Amino acid sequence: MAQWTSAMGSTQLARLLASQQARPTGTGARRPPAYRALADGIRLLVLEGRVPVAARLPAERELAVALAVSRTTVAAAYEALRAEGFLESRRGAGSWTAVPAGNPLPARGLEPLPPEALGSMIDLGCAALPAPEPWLTRSVQGALEALPPYAHTHGDYPAGLPALREMLAERYTARGIPTMPEQIMVTTGAMGAIDAICHLFAGRGERIAVESPSYANILQLMREAGARLVPVAMAEGLQGWDMDRWRQVLRDAAPRLAYVVADFHNPTGALAGEDQRRQLVEAARSAGTVLVVDETMSELGLDPDLDMPRPVCGFDPAGSTVITVGSASKAFWAGMRIGWVRAAPDVIRSLVAARAYADLGTPVLEQLAVNWLLNTDGWQAAVDMRREQARENRDALVAAVRRELPEWEFEVPRGGLTLWVRTGGLSGSRLAEVGERVGVRVPSGPRFGVDGAFEGYVRLPFTVGGAVAEEAAVRLAAAARLVETGAGTGAEIAHPFVA
């Protein structure tokens, strides 16, 4: 059986290789042989995640024609990549991308910083803001007032409190997506929702297509569930999805599920356009793939003039293809562990039935708190507060990083909570390691990829502002200098990019 999970066409690969020529290169360097330049170019694309790991590459003859080089050049480049561990081949199955077996890959998600480290460490690891007061306190007070009738029951509501399900259904209807309470299940956060969906639809060994990069904790959840992740590279910058790649992966890999973040994607901040949303729903429907859409960032548009596209589920009126996941954690507070699923009624019934063997239900008091917020002006007031804080933090962080690290590259997203930064050729993993030594915690790019991609990136969330953002950038610059010189590691730090 072949080890590849997606395929890369010769024209597509040639276009990606050509895009590298616009990047700056060192002056005075000797030009490498053609095969070496080609091998380095493909290796760089793999490390940046622009060509997924386990993607089948074109046959030597096809790529030679597309690049207008000799077949010998392509054969030598493939052989060099095999020798370095970036390519595997099998007679009759072709060649597919890989990462060297000796490179340890980060497998864990993004754990919160321990409380004892909060005083000395600037934490850029967790993309979450403090609670928006006084609305947290008021919502809990409102929940306590509404609690007595529920205290006389058993307290187990596997589908969620009827009042909250009705309110969430009304909110979808107000967005132009007619929804009944029977299409809603309340969960313990978005993670609980996606975990339940994966267990229902994708058994061990099933393929799940994911954006590349994608949210680290969800990738780890799927790995631990035994899924085979099929990465689909995002379009460059903030352009959203590369629909040619999505159609190809859905057609060739036929994944059971696909997980996407259409609204202010984590980590890139990209916002998928309406046409992209429509095309992805159509492609998923044609492939028989269930599309799981994470809307946890959907209310965090930061620019006042931004017009939001229709929700992805708006392009699936029958509800046969799209399952939507929402949460209070990003728009309100991460400590409010309330999430929800919107899906066809039969899917909700199946999820609820399976819940008897999982967590039985979501805490009643927290559901009542969210219901109080949604029934008053509390939710909108809290979201407005959250947007203002995130906008100020974003602008402060962007200015500080541009000042202290002008060689780092990024595009400023119009919403969400994260900045996806190319680190000028430095190892993101080394930056994360050295950063903790100089007092700044930052997650490296490979945490957001599949099998070692995005080594040259870090994710910076909009969780600090003002003087703290400036100090964070100063510490990141200090870490970058240590990584660049190899100091403080006990050994010379190898740069992953030499092309």
The confidence score (pLDDT) of residue 1 equals 37
The confidence score (pLDDT) of residue 453 equals 79
Whole-angstrom distance, CA of residue 489 vs CA of residue 499:
24
The confidence score (pLDDT) of residue 143 equals 97
Give the pLDDT confidence of 40-75 residue by residue, as tens digits.
888 878 877 778 778 889 999 999 999 999 999 999
Q: Are 352 and 193 in contact (CB under 8 A)?
A: no
Mean pLDDT calculated for residue range 157-171: 97
Q: Count the alpha carbons within 13 Å of 462 in the hemisphere toward its beta carbon.
A: 30
Tokens of 430: 């080394």
The confidence score (pLDDT) of residue 55 equals 84
User: Residue 488's pLDDT band (boundaries 50, 70, 90)?
Assistant: very low
- Name the least confident of 32-46, 61-75, 184-198: 32-46
Mean pLDDT calculated for residue range 415-428: 93
The confidence score (pLDDT) of residue 245 equals 92
- Give the helix/strand (H/E) hosting 110: none
Tokens of 230: 């099929």
User: Residue 132's pLDDT band (boundaries 50, 70, 90)?
Assistant: very high
User: Residue 161's pLDDT band (boundaries 50, 70, 90)?
Assistant: very high
Mean pLDDT calculated for residue range 420-446: 90
- Name the least confident of 55-69, 131-145, 159-173: 55-69
Strands (E), 106-254: 122-123, 184-187, 207-212, 228-233
What distance, in Å, lies between the first and last C-alpha atoms of the chain? Answer: 33
Q: Are 450 and 415 in contact (CB under 8 A)?
A: no
The confidence score (pLDDT) of residue 457 equals 93
The confidence score (pLDDT) of residue 301 equals 96
Q: What angle do CA 129, 428, 18 make, to 5 degrees?
A: 115
Q: What are phi and psi of 222, to 5 degrees?
A: -70, -35
* Higher pLDDT pick, 380 / 25: 380
List all residues 6 or more positions away from 380 whose beta carbon is below 8 Å from its beta carbon.
Answer: none
Whole-angstrom distance, CA of residue 274 vs CA of residue 309:
5
Cα torsion 132, 305, 125, 235 to 10°: value is 150
The amino acid sitting at 38 is L
The confidence score (pLDDT) of residue 9 equals 85
The confidence score (pLDDT) of residue 24 equals 45
> With b meaning 16 or more CB within 10 Å and e meaning fewer, what string describes 124-144?
bbbbbbebbeebbebbbebbe
Q: Are 248 and 7 in contact (CB under 8 A)?
A: yes
The confidence score (pLDDT) of residue 114 equals 58
The confidence score (pLDDT) of residue 485 equals 85
Quickly count: other Cβ atoms within 10 Å of residue 467's Cβ. 10
- Does pLDDT of 446 surpass 60? yes
List all residues 6 or more positions away from 406 whose beta carbon is below 8 Å from its beta carbon.
Answer: none
For residue 301, the cross-strand partners are 415
The confidence score (pLDDT) of residue 119 equals 62
Q: Are 231 and 53 in contact (CB under 8 A)?
A: yes
- Does pLDDT of 495 surpass 50? no
Indicate the average pLDDT of the chain. 88
- Does pLDDT of 271 surpass 80? yes
Length of the chain: 499
Tokens of 452: 């070692």
The confidence score (pLDDT) of residue 30 equals 60
Whole-angstrom distance, CA of residue 282 vs CA of residue 61:
33
- Does pLDDT of 267 surpass 70? yes
Helix (H, G, I), strand (E, B) or coil at 386: helix
Sign of the CA dihedral 469, 470, 474, 480?
positive
- Does pLDDT of 20 surpass 70? no
The amino acid sitting at 18 is A
Whole-angstrom distance, CA of residue 439 vs CA of residue 323:
41
* Higher pLDDT pick, 103 / 302: 302
The confidence score (pLDDT) of residue 29 equals 47
Quickly count: other Cβ atoms within 10 Å of residue 170's Cβ. 13
For residue 292, the cross-strand partners are 259, 323
Whole-angstrom distance, CA of residue 466 vs CA of residue 473:
11
DSSP secondary structure string, 392-457?
A: HHHHHHHHHHHHH-TT-B----SBSSEEEEE-TT--HHHHHHHHHHTTEE--BGGGGSSSS--TTE
User: Residue 112's pLDDT band (boundaries 50, 70, 90)?
Assistant: low
The confidence score (pLDDT) of residue 341 equals 97
Q: What are phi and psi of 55, to 5 degrees?
A: -100, 130
Q: Are 160 and 341 in contact (CB under 8 A)?
A: no
User: Residue 22's pLDDT band (boundaries 50, 70, 90)?
Assistant: very low
Check: pTM over 0.75? Answer yes or no: yes
Give the pLDDT confidence of 310-347 residue by residue, as tens digits.
999 999 988 889 999 999 999 999 999 999 999 999 99
Q: Are 208 and 292 in contact (CB under 8 A)?
A: no
Give the pLDDT confidence of 204-223 residue by residue, as tens digits.
889 999 999 999 999 989 98
- Does pLDDT of 169 surpass 60? yes
Q: Are 131 and 329 in contact (CB under 8 A)?
A: no
For residue 234, the cross-strand partners are 241
Strands (E), 71-227: 87-90, 94-97, 122-123, 184-187, 207-212
The confidence score (pLDDT) of residue 351 equals 95
- Give the helix/strand (H/E) hosting 292: strand 290-294
List all residues 6 or more positions away from 288 whose beta carbon is below 8 Å from its beta carbon.
Answer: 254
The confidence score (pLDDT) of residue 496 equals 30
* Higher pLDDT pick, 383 / 493: 383
Mean pLDDT calculated for residue range 15-43: 70
Helix (H, G, I), strand (E, B) or coil at 253: helix
